[in-house]
């Protein structure tokens, strides 16, 4: 009757439990394998030997749980301390929170999308190593999603614009940019999902997003964000390893895979870069203290790291995507200003505030962008400032024409051809309909898969088709669940500003 | 042509600073820059983090897998075993 008398429950040895936990790469016996793994041939990638995929995570499984638990413990102790000490009062300025509004409403739902994406790819791939690695990454991504929701929850108590991030992600025009990137990857086959997320986003681009912006969060007193950011980013070294391993695996398995992988890599590099262009405005304009400019981040993470990575892949037959890299480099001195200008004039239809940078910030921008800021962008900002001082703060009443591929407004100019004041506007026809693009690169992506991108859900067009609550801005805002003059418009005069000034006795 | 530059970013905590000092010992010509909340470490070709050197610096046994606790990001391929953690480019 007592437990000491009952036989001790038999447990699996470590070795056995490890074998059972990872025994997922079986061959089918009573079902046709093509029915069980229907997407393995969908993209034309040829895999001859799934066992050749050595999972780098599998060997460290035992320590994985221990380390992740330790990381989470550290993270939540800092997030708790931030909440208990009213950490939101110690940030540099409430303007800063608007960068967070963009980050948390755009990135958090993507993290969630990637959880299901990796769970799905784990199911679709056949190899044991691949399956385990993808499952573990899905768990990591769930952790990132949760930590970001906890950060939203804290800021939502004090600032506007965080109240319904999930609905906003599905509806608001600027959030269709990250959504379309995530949906594009999820609706591709498993190999392209892997390249979109594991390679382009994790390897080439997350550093550009998480590292300098999070360091900037620390510089502005936001310990909650820097903590979840760095903690998430530390998982990325594993995710990068997986992404790169997937690419090498595809390239080694069959020479026919090389051109397919090359096309997917170039497409996803460009898509990821376009998506991240909004981060340029967050770093250069929205951080009151900016430790790094967008141009400096591009130099480190694209010109240095990105190029090094492609050089490493040259021995597998991959060619350096010179045209794309040259364009990213040429645009590095322009995009943050072009993005900020666009957000400023359309902030009557956003869930965050914008403002004209003060003189100190303008001078910082002149110093960081000696070739472009004073010449092209300062005069425009000065003009907006004069109008605002006269009580005529400028908001656009028109809806922007969006790029059919990346879904950003056509806000980029032809800097590659020495025409920085001429907007780039490419078009193509498909099924008797005309489609518009922000760049050659986005046009090429469309022309490779026109049936896919012709279906894209573009907010302005949906508004005019009557699918978004009406055609006027108040009707659309209501449908977006944005409260006019509370969540949107200029920072000056906003409830956020009033709350902050009261808090700081200004 | 010079080699590509390997990159390692770690958190600027007490432990992170000690580990950065230990990395200096085994990596000649390394460049270390302090950024807000972050230590940025760069070196041509590769950065090697040896468990023995870090253990000596910390005054306790340290395993390369513990790097995960202070790691922010890497620029390079990764090679990890019980003795060391290497960030490198193959070009």
As given in the structure block, the two tokens for residue A369 are 């962008």
Q: Do A211 and B9 touch (CB under 8 A)?
A: yes
Beta bridge mates, B6: B43
CATH of the domain at A154: 1.10.620.20
Q: Give the residue on B whose Cα is nearest the Cα of A314.
A: B91
Nearest residue of chain A to residue B6 (CA atoms): A305
Chain A residues with CB-CB distance to B35 below 8 A: 215, 291-292
Residues of the domain holding A483: 59-503
Whole-number Å distance between alpha carbons of A133 and A235: 13
Nearest CA-CA partner of B59 in B28, B90, B5, B19? B19
Q: For B34-54, what is the mean pLDDT?
A: 96
Q: In the block, which residue shows the tokens 């299901």? A: A116
Q: What is the chain A residue with the closest CA to B38?
A: A215
pLDDT confidence of residue A56: 63
Q: Across the interface, do B73 and A300 touch by the CB < 8 Å criterion?
A: no
Measured CA angle at B57 (ends B51, B62), to 5 deg: 35
Q: How many domains does chain A have?
A: 1
- What SS3 class is residue A444? helix
How many Cβ atoms from other residues are within 10 Å of residue A428's Cβ?
Answer: 15
Helix (H) or strand (E) segment spanning residue A413: strand A413-414
Chain A interface, mutation test: which of B3, B9, B49, most A Cβ atoms within 10 Å? B9
Question: Residue with structure tokens 């920072």?
Answer: A491
Q: Which residues make beta-bridge pairs with A434?
A: A429
Q: What is the mean pLDDT of residues B43-70?
A: 95
* CA separation, residue B26 to residues B30, B49, B53 (Å): 9, 7, 8
3-state secondary structure of A423: strand
Contact A237 B68 (CB under 8 A): yes
Mean pLDDT, range B11-30, rounded to an integer? 96
* Predicted pLDDT of residue A375: 98
Tell me if chain A has a CB within 8 Å of the CB of B13: no
Please determine, for residue B32, whether its predicted confidence score (pLDDT) is greater than 90: yes
Q: Is residue A41 part of a domain?
A: no
Residue A29 within a domain: no
Q: What is the pLDDT of residue A88?
A: 93
> Could you tell me the CA-to-CA distances from A221 to A82, A164, A394, A486, B2 in Å, in that order?
10, 25, 31, 25, 39
**pLDDT beneath 70: ranges in chain A:** 1-5, 14-15, 17-18, 55-61
Residue with tokens 């391929």, as numbered in its chain: B77
Tokens encoding B63: 């395993």
The Cα A249–Cα A53 span in angstroms is 7
Tell me which residue range forms the domain holding B76. 5-88
Interface test with A, best of B14, B37, B49, B86 (most A CBs within 10 A): B37
Q: Give me the interface pTM, i.e. the ipTM.
A: 0.92
**Is some CB atom of chain A closer than 8 A to the CB atom of B36?**
yes
pLDDT score at B1: 58
Question: B73 vs A211: CB contact, 8 Å cut-off?
Answer: yes
Q: What is the structure's pLDDT at B76?
A: 92
The answer as to whether A19 is a domain residue is: no
Measure in Å the smallest separation between the Cα of B88 and chain A Cα atoms: 10
Which is nearest to A78 in space by CA: B59, B17, B11, B35? B11
Question: Which residues in chain B are closer than 8 Å to A320, comparing Cβ atoms?
Answer: none
CB spacing of A233 vs B73 below 8 angstroms: yes
d(CA A306, CA A205): 9
Surface of A (334-363) touching B: CB under 8 A: none
Closest by CA to B74, choosing from B87, B65, B64, is B87
Q: Which of A230, A244, A251, A291 to mutate to test the interface with B (most CBs of B within 10 A)?
A: A230
A308/B76 touch (CB, cutoff 8 Å), yes or no: yes
Nearest to A352 by CA among A110, A153, A173: A173
CA separation for the pair A252, B46 (Å, rounded):
24
> Are A234 and B71 within 8 A, CB to CB?
yes
- Residue A294 in tokens: 């967008």
Residue among A230, A241, A301 minimizing CB distance to B11: A230
Please give the mean pLDDT across all residues of chain A.
92
Q: What's the Cα-to-Cα distance from A214 to each of A103, A158, A235, A346, B68, rounded to whole Å? A: 11, 21, 15, 26, 17
pLDDT for position A55: 67
Number of structural domains found in chain B? 1
Domain of B77, CATH number, reads: 3.90.56.10
Whether residue A267 lies inside any domain: the answer is yes
Contacts of B11 in chain A (CB under 8 A): 230
Residue A331, domain member (yes or no): yes
Chain B residues close to A224, C-beta within 8 Å: none
> If you count residue pairs, one on A and one on B, with CB atoms under 8 Å apart, how many are there?
89
φ, ψ at A89 (rounded to 5°): -75, -15
């Amino acid at each position: 009757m007592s437990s000491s008398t009952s036989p001790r429950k038999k447990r699996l040895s470590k070795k056995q439990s490890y074998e059972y936990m990872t025994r997922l790469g079986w061959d089918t016996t009573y079902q046709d394998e093509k029915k069980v793994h229907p997407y393995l041939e969908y993209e034309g990638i040829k895999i001859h030997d799934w066992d050749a995929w050595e999972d780098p995570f599998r060997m460290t499984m035992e320590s994985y749980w221990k380390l992740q638990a330790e990381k989470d413990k550290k993270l939540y102790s800092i997030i708790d301390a931030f909440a208990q000490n009213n950490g939101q009062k110690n940030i540099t300025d409430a303007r800063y929170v608007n960068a967070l509004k963009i980050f948390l409403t755009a990135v958090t739902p993507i993290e969630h999308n990637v959880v299901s994406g990796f769970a799905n790819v784990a199911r679709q791939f056949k190899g044991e190593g691949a399956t385990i690695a993808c499952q573990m990454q899905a768990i990591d991504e769930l952790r990132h999603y949760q930590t970001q929701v906890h950060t939203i929850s804290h800021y939502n108590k004090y600032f506007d614009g965080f109240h319904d991030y999930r609905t906003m992600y599905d509806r608001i025009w600027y959030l269709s940019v990250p959504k379309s990137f995530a949906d594009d990857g999820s609706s591709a086959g498993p190999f392209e999902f892997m390249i979109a997320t594991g390679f382009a986003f994790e390897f080439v681009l997350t550093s550009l997003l998480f590292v300098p912006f999070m360091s900037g969060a620390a510089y502005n007193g936001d310990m909650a964000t820097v903590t979840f950011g760095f903690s998430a980013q530390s998982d990325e070294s594993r995710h990068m390893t997986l992404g790169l391993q997937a690419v090498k695996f595809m390239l080694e398995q069959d020479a026919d895979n090389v051109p397919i992988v090359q096309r997917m890599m170039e497409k996803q590099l460009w898509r990821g870069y376009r998506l991240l262009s909004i981060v340029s405005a967050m770093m250069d304009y929205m951080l009151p203290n900016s430790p790094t400019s967008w141009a400096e981040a591009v130099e480190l993470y694209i010109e240095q790291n990105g190029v090094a990575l492609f050089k490493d892949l040259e021995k597998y037959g991959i060619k350096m995507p010179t045209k794309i890299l040259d364009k990213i480099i040429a645009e590095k001195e322009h995009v943050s200003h072009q993005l900020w200008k666009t957000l400023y004039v359309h902030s009557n239809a956003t869930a965050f505030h914008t403002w004209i940078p003060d003189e100190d910030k303008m001078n910082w921008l002149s110093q960081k962008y000696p070739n472009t800021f004073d010449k092209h962008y300062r005069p425009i900002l000065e003009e907006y400032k004069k109008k605002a001082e006269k009580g005529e703060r400028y908001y656009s009443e028109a809806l922007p024409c969006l790029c059919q591929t990346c879904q950003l407004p056509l806000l980029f100019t032809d800097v590659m051809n020495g025409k920085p004041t001429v907007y780039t506007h490419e078009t193509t026809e498909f099924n008797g309909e005309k489609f518009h693009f922000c760049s050659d690169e986005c046009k090429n992506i469309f022309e490779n898969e026109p049936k896919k991108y012709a279906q894209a859900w573009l907010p302005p067009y949906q508004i005019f088709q009557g699918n978004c609550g009406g055609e006027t801005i108040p009707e659309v805002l209501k449908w977006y669940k944005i409260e006019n003059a509370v969540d949107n418009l200029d920072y000056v005069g906003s409830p956020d500003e009033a709350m902050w000034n009261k808090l700081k006795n200004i | 042509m010079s080699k590509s530059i390997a990159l390692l970013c770690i958190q600027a905590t007490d432990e992170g600073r000690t580990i950065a000092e230990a990395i200096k010992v085994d990596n000649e010509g390394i460049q270390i820059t302090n950024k807000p909340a972050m230590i940025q470490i760069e070196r041509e070709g590769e950065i090697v983090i040896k468990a023995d050197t870090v253990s000596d610096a910390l005054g306790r046994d340290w395993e390369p897998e513990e790097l995960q606790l202070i790691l922010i990001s890497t620029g390079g391929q990764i090679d990890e075993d019980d003795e060391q953690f290497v960030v490198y480019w193959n070009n």
